Amino acid sequence: MSERNVKFMQGNEACAEGAMAAGCRFFAGYPITPSSEIAEILARRLPQVGGKFIQMEDEIASMAAICGASLVGVKAMTATSGPGFSLKMENLGYASFTEIPCVIVNVMRGGPSTGSPTSPAQGDVLQARWGTHGDHPVIVLSCSSVRDLYELTVKSFNLSERFRVPVVLLTDEIVAHMREKVDLTELESIELVERKKPACPPEEYVPYQADPETDVPPMANFGEGYRYHITGLTHDETGFTTQKPEKIAALHERLYRKIENHRHEIIETRNYYLDDAQIAVFAYGCTARSALRAVREARERGIRAGLIQPVTMWPFPDELIHEVAAQVDVFLVPEMNMGMMVREVERAAHGQAEVFGQSLVTWEMFTPAQVLAKIEEVHNWVMSKTTSESRPSRTSGALAAATE
Amino acid sequence: MVSGIGCSSRAPGYVDFNTLHTTHGRAIPFATGIKLAKPEMTVIVVTGDGDCAAIGGNHLIHAARRNIDLTVVVFNNFIYGMTSGQYSPTTPTGAIGTTAPYGNAERPFDLCKLAEAAGATYVARGTAYHARVLPNLIEKAILNKGFSLVDAITQCPVYFGRMNKVGSAVDMLKWQRDHAVSRKEAETLSPEEMGARLVIGELYNKPAPEYCELYEKVMEKAQGK
């Protein structure tokens, strides 16, 4: 048996090493806690292999620079946190609309504004999907372990190259700064996906003519003889701007289809103890760690709880939630915000099961005991099926106790 | 060729290169990504006074500071034309704009001085009237291995011209002819005599180590060469 490659790594370090393994050879960033280690490590690692690192003058410029680098065929990434993520939004929309593959890591911290720079939070999950103006496709993944930060960074690059779409990789201060043992043996051999290049000669190249099977246009790199135009204006297949209503619609509908028609190949969830579950917990990021322990402890107490941990936040796993909703009595959605993904669970459950949120905004990670207490409260409510007054409240036990 | 947003920034649509029409003010950082990722490409940025000196001002000075090999051509018409005549960072004090109906209270940037002070290694100014000089200045800017800025004075008869009652497009070109002076001539004029006159021609040309080349050395060091 060959030797295993086991390392003790920090989350941000795993992200940087995952990027290296994915073939990322360009990083542009701006210092911001709690993501700075990713930039620091890549500033050292990239030039060792002929890659480029640049610290730009701001977050907006970093997002622009990775788009530029990707256009010449170099896999590119940036990493940031809350305030920086807000600043990247316009150019993230540009990347989405002009179909430039790139990866944006957002290590979530307490917000809004400067908030709590050294504390975890989960308040950017809807911004990751809808933060830029205009309807647009985007893929968002969520990490809850150091291993995830390696594996899902590679996956982010693969998805961005395949679908020509910006991919947002969400994590939080806890996961990014935590150190864990990671077995890289299998992870190092994850197959890499490269963007599809045009098969035709330059004079026949129509830059935004998509493959009808995939709805993704083959992408010619700048500087390789395929001279063409890219604009953030609404454009037709030639890449030039158009104001024809049918062409505008055709573009938006194709951009929607290229993700939605392949959602089953994109969506990944980790499901625990769902087979006989009466209570399904839906949790992501660092919260999923506490939730898993809480679910196990609930089972020890005879409560049939299960856990859905979405790896893919967007597209949202509607089908799974709908299916599970037909089986369970309730969903519990603990999250470090005042209730964001809980609305998505509620929407996808479609009234088949009760959905309870559990909010924690102390910017301290959920403890397993907090989630367990809520599971028990929800379980008791299901058992008694009492009046609506005793319906479990949204705030966590800890927060309620602190405010009383 | 990379551009931002505005009248100037539609220019890449008219040339047969790899052309990138980006977001407002951000042409230079997009171009920086292209250049650093593939230094063998020649990268030209076309932009306007609002695009590069207001919303994109930070990127302009930092690209100049790095001395990255980009050529920035500013279509400087002293006004936001595409959004219909608001005052810009180069609008002269007292001039009228749709957002300066009583005259502009702000002082304008001299883009050439700004670029030079920030670290650009080639700086020149031309005008649309001096149609045989401007291409030479742009050519020299492209040949400069480093950050180059060409302040290209253009006319916006529709907004600046109409609001400031300086006549038609032709009148505005004549104004450029009558107000352009060489560096040598400018040295003989007092500040009062200079008035609104513009110094045209090559204003600064002093090579310095270029950013992508310096980064090559970083890579060699990282690789233990």
Query: What pLDDT is stored for residue A401 in this prediction?
Result: 41
Q: Which of A50, A57, A94 sits opposite B23 (nearest CB)?
A: A94
Q: What is the pLDDT of residues A351-390, one digit of tens each?
A: 999 999 999 999 999 999 999 999 999 999 988 875 555 6
Q: Which residues of B touch A76 (CB under 8 A)?
A: 33, 37
Whether A240 contacts chain B with CB within 8 A: yes
Query: What pLDDT is stored for residue A313 in this prediction?
Result: 98
Whether A205 contacts chain B with CB within 8 A: no
Q: Which residues of A touch B40 (CB under 8 A)?
A: 223
Query: What pLDDT is stored for residue A400 in this prediction?
Result: 44
- Could you tell me the CA-to-CA distances from B225 to A336, B215, B217, B220, B221 in Å, in that order? 48, 14, 9, 5, 6
Quickly count: other Cβ atoms within 10 Å of residue B167's Cβ.
15
Specify the CATH number for A271-403; select among 3.40.50.2300, 2.40.30.20, 3.40.50.920, 3.40.1030.10: 3.40.50.920
| Contact map slice: A 74-133 vs B, CB within 8 A | 74, 76, 90-91, 94
A56 to B20: CB separation less than 8 angstroms, yes or no: no
Over 80: is that where the pLDDT of A398 sits? Answer: no
Q: What is the rounded distance in angstroms from the CA atom of residue A295 to the CA atom of residue A284?
A: 14
Percent of chain A with pLDDT over 90: 93
Q: How far is B175 from chain A (nearest CA, A)?
A: 34
Phi, psi dihedrals of residue B117, rounded to the nearest 5°: -65, -30
Yes or no: say if A65 and A27 are a contact pair by the CB < 8 Å rule.
no
Q: What is the rounded distance in angstroms from the CA atom of residue A153 to the CA atom of residue A167?
A: 10
User: What's the complex ipTM?
Assistant: 0.97
> What's the average model confidence in pLDDT over A263-273?
98
Q: Show me where the domains of chain A are located.
A: 6-189, 271-403
Whether A231 contacts chain B with CB within 8 A: yes
Question: Residue A102: which H helix or E strand, with range?
Answer: strand A102-110
**CATH H-level, domain A6-189: superfamily:** Thiamin diphosphate (ThDP)-binding fold, Pyr/PP domains (3.40.50.970)
A229 to B38: CB separation less than 8 angstroms, yes or no: no
pLDDT band at A396 (very low <50, low <70, confident <90, very high): low
Tokens of A39: 């930039």
- Show Cβ contacts of residue B8 under 8 Å, excluding neighbours closer than 6 positions: B46, B47, B48, B51, B74, B75, B154
- Show Cβ contacts of residue A145 under 8 Å, excluding neighbours closer than 6 positions: A11, A175, A180, A289
Query: What pLDDT is stored for residue A3 in this prediction?
Result: 86
Residue owning tokens 């769902």? A274
Quickly count: other Cβ atoms within 10 Å of residue A240's Cβ.
17
Q: Which of B16, B29, B38 sits opposite A65 (nearest CB)?
A: B29
Yes or no: say if A308 and A269 are a contact pair by the CB < 8 Å rule.
yes
Q: What is the pLDDT of residues A165-204, one digit of tens each?
A: 999 999 999 999 999 999 999 998 899 999 999 999 999 9
Average pLDDT, chain A: 95
CB neighbour class for A114 (10 Å; exposed up to 12, middle 13-18, buried from 19): exposed
Whether A202 contacts chain B with CB within 8 A: no
Q: What is the pLDDT of residues B38-91, one digit of tens each?
A: 999 999 999 999 999 999 999 999 999 999 999 999 999 999 999 999 999 999
Q: What is the rounded distance in angstroms from the CA atom of residue A219 to the CA atom of residue A164?
A: 8
CA-based nearest residue in chain B for residue A241 = B13
User: Helix (H, G, I), strand (E, B), or coil: what is residue A134?
Assistant: coil
Q: How far is A395 from chain B (nearest CA, A)?
A: 41
A279-282 and A330-335 beta bridge pairing: parallel
Q: Which residues of A touch B59 (CB under 8 A)?
A: 57, 61
Q: What is the pLDDT of residues A13-63, one digit of tens each?
A: 999 999 999 999 999 999 999 999 999 999 999 999 999 999 999 999 999
Q: How far is A30 from chain B (nearest CA, A)?
A: 13
Question: What residues in chain B have their Cβ under 8 A from chain A's Cβ atoms?
Answer: 2, 12-13, 16-23, 26, 28-38, 40-41, 58-59, 62, 215, 218-219, 221-223
pLDDT band at B29 (very low <50, low <70, confident <90, very high): very high
Specify the CATH number for B2-222; select among 3.40.50.970, 3.40.50.150, 1.10.760.10, 3.30.420.10: 3.40.50.970
Q: How far is A272 from chain B (nearest CA, A)?
A: 43
